[in-house]
Amino acid sequence: MKTELWGSYKLSSSAECAKKEIEKLVPDLNQSISSLGAEIKGWKIDKNLLRIRIISTRLRAHEALLRLRSPIGKALGKEYHLGIRETRVDDYTLTFSLEKEPLGVVSIPFANVQIKGKEVRMSLKQLSREFLEKNYIDRMIKLVREKVAKQHYKGKKEYWELMWQSKQKSERWNKDPTEEMLKLGWLKQGPTKGKWFFYPQVASIMSAMEKIALEEVLEPLGFEEVIESHHVPLDIWLKTGHLKSIPGEIYYVSEPLTRKEQDWEDFTDMVKITHKVPEELFKKHLDTPKSGVCYAQCPIIYWSLQNRTIAEESLPIRVFEKRAVSNRYESGGRHGIERVDEFHRIEPVYIGTKSQLLELRERLIERYRHVFEDLLELEWRRAWVTPFYMSQAGEVYEGEGEKVEGTIDFEAWMPYRGDRENSEWLEFQNLSIVGERYIKVFNIKGQKSRLWSGCSGIGLERWTAAFLAQKTLDPENWPEGFKECLSKAPRGIKFL
């Protein structure tokens, strides 16, 4: 990498008088940065500006500019009573090479990016000291590399490796349960996009699934319930990385600017006169969003432990949240009750030493296996896939490393989608160990131990969809293990 800039130190008054001093100083300054690959290649005085040209092959040139501030300030202060008031870069060019040639245009904020072959030339102008000190430059270089890597990654399938597969189960039907439930009046398309109204028949099945998850998986393994809020402040998602990856899937929450009746008078007047929602007035009355609706429960659970030290006796922490409803803007991907914009998930979260989590993962898998094999009698499989935190961050994963940190997907065959071999199976839940990444960003400490964490997403709509797609809507066809939890659907409401 080569970096070159013209920068300037703005002095408290004209520096003309200090020309000789600067001339003397430059060789010393150069010596102090030469081992870092940087060099002052030129300088000039322009009234109260000391302009300086730096070229560097190792240290970023702007870092040299920041470093030289202090020795220059000292020398000019002592003799000439000149102080440095401002440091900035006027013109900055960075050239670096990529691993692969880009497949399309790459652009990023703050810079002009030109790429010839594998060589990138990134030019920036007029950068403040704050900009230089905040590590933006390195992040911009990383972003260019990431965008090029993504161009190559695009279209490639996510990593998927079969870990285990159940025996085939006899096929009972091949209908889409959502369509059939609609016909029977068990379901109604929700009042807004991607939502459902579950009448008692389906609600009872989802509740039975919840009961099974609690009684057969979480309680035997010592998980305890926590209750969190539905609203997630944006700075939490800044930490977890969600805002870098899925800002287009979040439902944002806006607070009213005030709750005073008189401030909303224009709004209520319009409602009274037009009997319509005066949408245009929202701009005036609502704040920009500062939070969003729960996407998954774990970020707030980590937040609740932020900056705390966990007593050794509490490890491994095992908690779950089942009340916050997950919202995701799925757009074109919506289908049936299995891919919706609002869904009900139970999310267990675990924090402990690496070995505690590896053991817990085995025990969780064993309990899940018991549920899907013995109670629901599903045809299902487990696969090692791109870890959710990598796919959400657009990072490439090709199965490298030991299978310790990462995500296991649990998938069920959906007969209505086609045969076992060629149709897409439904991911009805997953289980991850995420290593130290969230522990670090939320600064969670162990009394003695080094902590890791992980979570599992139990999607109740997906459990239900998978079960009904294989076992039909007729309780006669349901396995005995499940019938012990729910032997018949409630009577529901009869529509005329």
Q: Which residues form the catalytic set?
A: 298, 328, 330, 339, 347, 409, 427, 430, 455, 462
Q: How far is the CB of 336 from ligand ATP (least distance, A)?
A: 9
Residue corresponding to tokens 């072959």: 117
Q: Which is nearer to Zn ion, 336 or 387 (CB)?
A: 387
Residue 298 interacting partner from ligand ATP, Zn ion, none (CB closer than 5 to 8 Å by kind):
Zn ion
Cβ closest to ligand ATP, residue 291 vs residue 456 = 456
For ligand ATP, which residue of 461, 464, 471, 478 counts as binding (CB under 6 A)?
A: 461
Q: How far is the CB of 457 from Zn ion (least distance, A)?
A: 6
H or E element that contains 140: helix 136-153
Distance CA 11, CA 53 (A): 17
Q: Which stretch binds ligand ATP (CB under 6 A): 132-140, 209-217, 357-365, 423-431?
A: 423-431
Instruction: Give the three-state DSSP class for 113.
Output: strand
Q: Which of 7, 352, 387, 457 binds ligand ATP (CB under 6 A)?
A: 457
What is the number of other CB atoms lying within 10 angstroms of the CB of residue 344? Answer: 22
CA-closest candidate to residue 387, choices 161, 65, 97, 50? 161
Site for Zn ion in 413-472 (CB under 5 A): 455
Other Cβ atoms closer than 10 A to 224: 10
Residue 430 in the binding site for ligand ATP (CB under 6 A)? yes
Q: Which residue in the set 388, 416, 452, 478 belongs to the binding site for ligand ATP (CB under 6 A)?
A: 388
- What's the count of helices (H) and strands (E) in the chain, helices before strands? 16, 22
Q: Residue 301 CB, nearest distance to Zn ion (Å)?
A: 8
Residue of 406, 449, 450 lying closest to 431 (CA atoms): 406
Of 82, 44, 64, 70, give the one whose Cα is nearest residue 4. Answer: 64
Out of 33, 141, 205, 296, name the contact with ligand ATP by CB under 6 A.
296
Q: Is 411 in the site for ligand ATP (CB under 6 A)?
A: no
Residue among 296, 317, 324, 408 that touches Zn ion (CB under 5 A): 296
Asked if 339 is part of the footprint of ligand ATP (rule: CB under 6 A), the reply reads: yes
Q: Say whether residue 242 binds ligand ATP (CB under 6 A).
A: no
Q: With contact defined as beta carbons under 8 Å apart, do 60 and 138 qualify? A: yes
> Of 74-82, 113-121, 293-301, 393-401, which part binds Zn ion (CB under 5 A)?
293-301
298 binds Zn ion (CB under 5 A): yes
Tokens 């501030």 sit on residue: 69
Work out which of 345, 361, 381, 382 binds ligand ATP, going by CB under 6 A: 345
> Binding to ligand ATP (CB under 6 A): which residues in 59-98?
none
Task: Give the Cα-Cα-Cα angle 204, 207, 213 (nearest 5 degrees).
Answer: 145
Residue 4 dihedral angles phi and psi, to the nearest 5°: -140, 145
- Choose from Zn ion, ligand ATP, none: what does 228 bind? Cβ within 5-8 Å by kind: none
Query: If binding is defined by CB under 6 A, does position 459 make contact with ligand ATP?
Result: yes
Shortest CB 56 distance to Zn ion, Å: 42
Q: At its nearest, how many Å lie between ligand ATP and the CB of residue 397?
A: 13
Examine residue 464 and tell whether it contacts ligand ATP (CB under 6 A). no
- In total, the chain counts a number of residues equal to 496
Q: Does 361 bind ligand ATP (CB under 6 A)?
A: no
| Ramachandran angles phi, psi of 20, nearest 5° | -60, -45
- Greatest CA separation for the chain: 98
Q: Which of the ranges 36-44, 52-60, 209-217, 458-466 carries the binding residues for ligand ATP, by CB under 6 A?
A: 458-466
**How does strand 49-56 pair with strand 2-11?**
antiparallel
> CA-based Rg of the chain, rounded to a whole angstrom?
30
**Contact by Cβ (8 Å): 232, 294:** yes
Contacts of residue 250, defined as CB under 8 A and 6 or more positions apart, other chains included, come to 237, 242, 292, 293, 295, 327, 328, 329
What residue ranges in 386-424 does DSSP mark as E strands?
406-412
Binding partner at 455 among Zn ion, ligand ATP, none, C-beta below 5 to 8 Å by kind: Zn ion
- Report d(CA 173, CA 344) in Å as an integer: 26
Choice from 4, 90, 219, 330 touching ligand ATP (CB under 6 A): 330
For the residues of 284-304, what is the DSSP string, one character each? Answer: HHBPPPSEEE-SSSHHHHHHH
Shortest distance (Å) from residue 322 CB to ligand ATP = 13
Contact flag: residue 462 with ligand ATP (CB under 6 A): yes
Q: How far, in Å, CA of 296 to CA of 208, rounded?
A: 21
Report how far residue 153's alpha carbon sits from residue 496's, in angstroms, rounded to the nearest whole number: 54
Task: Tell me the residue number closest to ligand ATP, measured at CB.
Answer: 459
Question: Judged by CB, which is closer to ligand ATP: 7, or 336?
Answer: 336
Minimum distance of Zn ion from residue 389's CB (angstroms): 9
196 forms part of the interface with ligand ATP (CB under 6 A): no
Burial of 398 (0-12, 13-18, 19+ CB in 10 A): exposed
Q: Which is nearer to ligand ATP, 39 or 409 (CB)?
A: 409
Q: Do the Cβ atoms of 376 and 342 come closer than 8 Å?
A: no
Contact between 328 and ligand ATP (CB under 6 A)?
Answer: yes
DSSP per-residue string spanning 415-428 = GGG--TTTSPPEEE
- The verdict on 240 binding ligand ATP (CB under 6 A) reads no
Which position among 340, 433, 451, 466 is part of the footprint of ligand ATP (CB under 6 A)? Answer: 340
Question: In the complex, which residues of this chain contact Zn ion (CB under 5 A)?
Answer: 296, 298, 455
Question: In the complex, which residues of this chain contact ligand ATP (CB under 6 A)?
Answer: 296, 328, 330, 338-340, 343, 345, 388, 427-430, 457, 459, 461-462
